[in-house]
């Protein structure tokens, strides 16, 4: 599968309609295909093979056959292959960025600066961990061994396609597992490029397998498959629940990274001139299509007018447009269903009486086609409103006022989600104290740099399990105690 870097619309129809199973490109058991729509133009730009349970069976059989050999390799050997994968991602970063821009509308600058480099970082971290991680420790007469769990089914979303693939594939194969990947059918092109890249890196046949298709067919077949030992899914709460239900019959491990409604508390002493613009841009990163986006800005009531002004100034200055343009900051929403969802939620905010600060319903002016959404800021939002409770997954920010810090913490925790959170304060001790009271898997103080070693995952309905770094690696390991090991 190839995409020419000089033309993001050039997709090889031969390889795009095949799966990668047991080290080879192979056709689906039942000939069928799925369209890939460019969200910037609403045109079909590619067709990819649509899988079935029979294709899952083939991929799982390949992974199961490869597991004894791969799990027995030394850490150094696995690190060498991961190192090659990392090198190839960086070598092919432009073609990967172009694919991401084509399939889900990522602004090309963002794809080059974030989507691809951060994906490569997950591979680098997994490689580097293999030089330090102790798969066996001995305490007294007991040895604790950490062993690969087996065949892993990996289900990834459309919003950060390559990034989420490497966040799962890299630690899984580092642990000694073999994998079957089902990328989102809405953004599958970068996954096909990744499969070719893995092949070129020399990963043994069967260690990595890819089957495209719908969640209702391929995803369900993977979740229920008796020869898959673990499922890791990043997606919606509905998808996570369905996968867990299907997996329950075989009592396999299920890790889920699901939805979020992350708060961003601006404490009274925060530098508002800095904190508000950065908060808006953090909420709108990737067109707001990030599960950990801080889309609830919780601010002192007596600073509300100031916050509204700063937020509107920032949002109105964002360049929304053709994702191929170097000047574009935000491209379109990634698909039609999500565009319609965002529009419906903006209308809900208006009907519930939230104050519209900027943006609003409808496409960005000048675009009759493409899922271009106006960066929207609501203020005076009540925490009971739908826009304050439901994940919107678009460039929509809710500003919620508070009178006391205790109230701010209550508002932050008033959600079924618990994935991420932000706290802004010039008093680090105060920020730390507030962070410790927030029920979320990750809290960021004063917009720190991204840390690929920091565990990422949720409380409550944001899922279970952790990704990234050591914690992400350990999700793919079983724990064995050998008592009497010391004699």
Q: Which two tokens stand for residue 423?
A: 């706290």
Q: Which two tokens stand for residue 248?
A: 């329950």
Contact 8, 324 (CB under 8 A): yes
Q: What pLDDT does residue 14 have? A: 66
Q: What share of the chain is helix, strand, coil (3-state, %, to 5)?
A: 40, 20, 35
What count of other Cβ atoms lies within 10 Å of the Cβ of residue 482? 13
Classify the phi-psi angles of 4: left when phi > 0, otherwise alpha if psi is within -120 to 50, otherwise beta.
beta
Q: What pLDDT does residue 16 have? A: 82
Q: Which two tokens stand for residue 201?
A: 């890196």
Q: What pLDDT does residue 405 have? A: 98
Separation of alpha carbons 156 and 365, rounded Å: 33
Residues 128-147 have pLDDT tens digits of 999 999 999 999 999 999 99
Which is nearest to 307 in space by CA: 293, 291, 296?
A: 296
String of b and e for 282-294 (b: at least 16 CB within 10 Å)?
bbbbbbbbbbbbb
Q: Which two tokens stand for residue 388?
A: 């304050």
DSSP state of 320: B
Q: What pLDDT does residue 428 have? A: 98
Backbone φ and ψ for 155, nearest 5 degrees, come out as: -120, 120
| Neighbouring residues of 380: CB distance < 8 A, sequence distance ≥ 6 | 304, 354, 355, 399, 401
Separation of alpha carbons 97 and 331, rounded Å: 14
DSSP state of 3: B
Backbone φ and ψ for 246, nearest 5 degrees, come out as: -65, -35
Residue that the structure tokens 């920032």 belong to: 314
Which member of 103, 217, 257, 308 is catalytic?
A: 257
- Homologous superfamily of 263-450 in CATH? Aldehyde Dehydrogenase; Chain A, domain 2 (3.40.309.10)
| Ranges of CATH 3.40.309.10 domains, the chain | 263-450
* Helix spans in 215-303 (H): 220-224, 237-247, 272-284
Q: What pLDDT does residue 487 have? A: 74
| Neighbouring residues of 234: CB distance < 8 A, sequence distance ≥ 6 | 155, 156, 157, 164, 167, 168, 256, 257, 258, 291
Contact 333, 284 (CB under 8 A): no
Which member of 177, 291, 358, 398 is catalytic?
A: 291
| Neighbouring residues of 31: CB distance < 8 A, sequence distance ≥ 6 | none
Q: What pLDDT does residue 1 have? A: 43
Half-sphere exposure of 476 (CA within 13 A, CB side): 28
| CA 104 to mean position of chain CA atoms | 13
> Environment class of residue 368 by beta-carbon count within 10 Å: exposed (0-12), middle (13-18) or buried (19+)?
exposed
- 35, β-bridge pairs: 47
Residues (pLDDT < 50) of the chain are 1-10
In CATH, the number for domain 13-258+463-481 is 3.40.605.10
Question: Is 257 part of the annotated catalytic residue set?
Answer: yes
Residues 181-205 have pLDDT tens digits of 999 999 999 999 999 999 999 999 9
Contact 222, 231 (CB under 8 A): yes
Does this model's pTM top 0.85? My answer is: yes
Which is nearest to 296 in space by CA: 373, 436, 424, 396?
A: 396
DSSP state of 114: I
Q: What is the three-class DSSP state of 191?
A: helix
CA terminus-to-terminus distance, the chain: 55
Q: What pLDDT does residue 6 have? A: 40
Which is nearest to 286 in space by CA: 157, 171, 403, 129?
A: 157
String of b and e for 353-365 (b: at least 16 CB within 10 Å)?
ebeebbbbbebbe
Separation of alpha carbons 39 and 102, rounded Å: 8
């Amino acid at each position: 599968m190839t995409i020419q870097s000089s033309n993001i619309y050039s997709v090889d129809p031969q390889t795009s309609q095949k799966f990668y199973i047991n080290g080879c490109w192979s056709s689906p058991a039942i000939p069928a295909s799925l369209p890939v729509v460019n969200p910037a133009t609403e045109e079909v730009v590619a067709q990819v093979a649509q899988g079935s349970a029979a294709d899952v069976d083939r991929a799982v059989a390949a992974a199961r056959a490869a597991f004894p050999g791969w799990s027995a390799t030394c850490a150094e050997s696995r690190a060498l292959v991961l190192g090659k994968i990392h090198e190839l991602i960086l070598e092919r970063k432009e073609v990967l960025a172009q694919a991401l821009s084509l399939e889900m509308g990522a602004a090309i600058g963002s794809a080059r600066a974030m989507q691809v480099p951060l994906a490569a970082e997950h591979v680098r971290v997994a490689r580097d961990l293999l030089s330090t991680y102790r798969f066996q420790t001995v305490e007294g007469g007991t040895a604790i061994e950490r062993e690969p769990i087996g065949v892993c089914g990996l289900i990834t979303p459309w919003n950060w396609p390559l990034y989420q693939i490497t966040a799962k594939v890299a630690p899984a194969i580092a642990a000694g597992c073999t994998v079957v990947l089902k990328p989102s059918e809405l953004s599958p092109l970068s996954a096909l490029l990744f499969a070719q890249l893995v092949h070129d890196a020399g990963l043994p046949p069967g260690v990595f397998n890819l089957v495209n298709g719908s969640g209702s067919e391929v995803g369900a077949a993977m979740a229920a498959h008796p020869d898959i030992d673990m499922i890791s899914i990043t997606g919606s709460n509905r998808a996570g629940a369905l996968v867990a239900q299907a997996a329950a019959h075989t009592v396999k491990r299920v890790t889920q990274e699901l939805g979020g409604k992350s708060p961003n508390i601006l404490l009274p002493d925060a530098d508002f001139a800095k904190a508000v613009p950065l908060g808006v841009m953090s909420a709108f990163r990737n067109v707001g299509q990030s599960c950990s986006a801080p889309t609830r800005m919780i601010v002192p009531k007596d600073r509300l007018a100031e916050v509204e002004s700063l937020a509107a100034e920032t949002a109105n200055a964002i360049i929304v447009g053709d994702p191929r343009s170097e000047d574009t900051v935000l491209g379109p929403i990634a698909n039609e269903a999500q565009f319609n969802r965002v529009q419906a939620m903006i209308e809900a905010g208006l009907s519930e009486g939230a104050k519209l600060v900027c943006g609003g319903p409808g496409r960005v002016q000048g675009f009759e086609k493409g899922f271009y959404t106006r960066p929207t800021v609501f203020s005076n939002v009540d925490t009971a409103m739908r826009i304050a409770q439901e994940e919107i997954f678009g460039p929509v920010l809710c500003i919620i006022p508070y009178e006391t810090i205790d109230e701010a913490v209550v508002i932050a925790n008033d959600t079924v989600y618990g994935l991420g959170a932000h706290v802004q304060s010039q008093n680090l001790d105060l920020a730390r104290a507030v962070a410790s009271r927030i029920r979320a898997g990750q809290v960021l103080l004063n917009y720190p740099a991204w840390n690929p070693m920091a565990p990422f995952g949720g409380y409550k309905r944001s899922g279970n399990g952790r990704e990234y770094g050591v914690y992400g690696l350990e999700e793919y390991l079983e724990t064995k105690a050998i008592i009497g090991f010391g004699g």
